[in-house]
């Protein structure tokens, strides 16, 4: 539950080093982020391969989507989360 709350808070108020939307214009990291893209990431950043900031944003959003899907499946099936993860992984755990 703790990790879900942290990811939810990161969605509502992202960290300032991830997106230039919340950075102070007088800060030097603001100039670096403007050089990178010139605008905030938005809902879906441009897809780039490798270890890029855009790939990290997309990975984080997919992880949050997976957590929401797990919460939804838990509510619908009325099973513990570990049992659902075990079903999704093909009975890998037990």
Q: What is the dihedral of CA 21, 31, 57, 5, to 10 degrees?
A: -50
Q: Write out pLDDT tens, residues 36-65.
A: 656 667 777 878 888 887 888 888 888 989
Once rounded to an integer, what is the mean pLDDT over residues 26-35? 70
Give residue limits of the domains in the chain: 2-88
Supply 67's token pair. 């957590």
DSSP-H helix ranges across 13-88: 28-36, 53-77, 81-88
pTM of the model: 0.55
Phi-psi region of 42 (alpha: psi -120 to 50; beta: other; left: phi over 0): left
If pLDDT is split at 50, 70 and 90, which confidence band does 83 have? very high
**Spatial contact of 38 and 54, defined as CB atoms under 8 Å apart:** no
């Amino acid at each position: 539950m703790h990790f879900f709350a942290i990811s939810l808070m990161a969605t509502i108020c992202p960290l300032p080093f991830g997106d230039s939307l919340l950075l102070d214009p007088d800060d030097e990291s603001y100039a670096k982020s403007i050089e990178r893209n010139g605008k905030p990431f938005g809902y879906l950043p441009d897809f780039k391969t490798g270890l890029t900031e855009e790939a990290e944003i997309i990975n984080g959003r997919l992880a949050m989507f997976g957590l929401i899907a797990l919460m939804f499946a838990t509510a619908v099936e009325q099973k513990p989360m570990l049992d659902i993860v075990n079903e999704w992984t093909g009975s890998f755990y037990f």
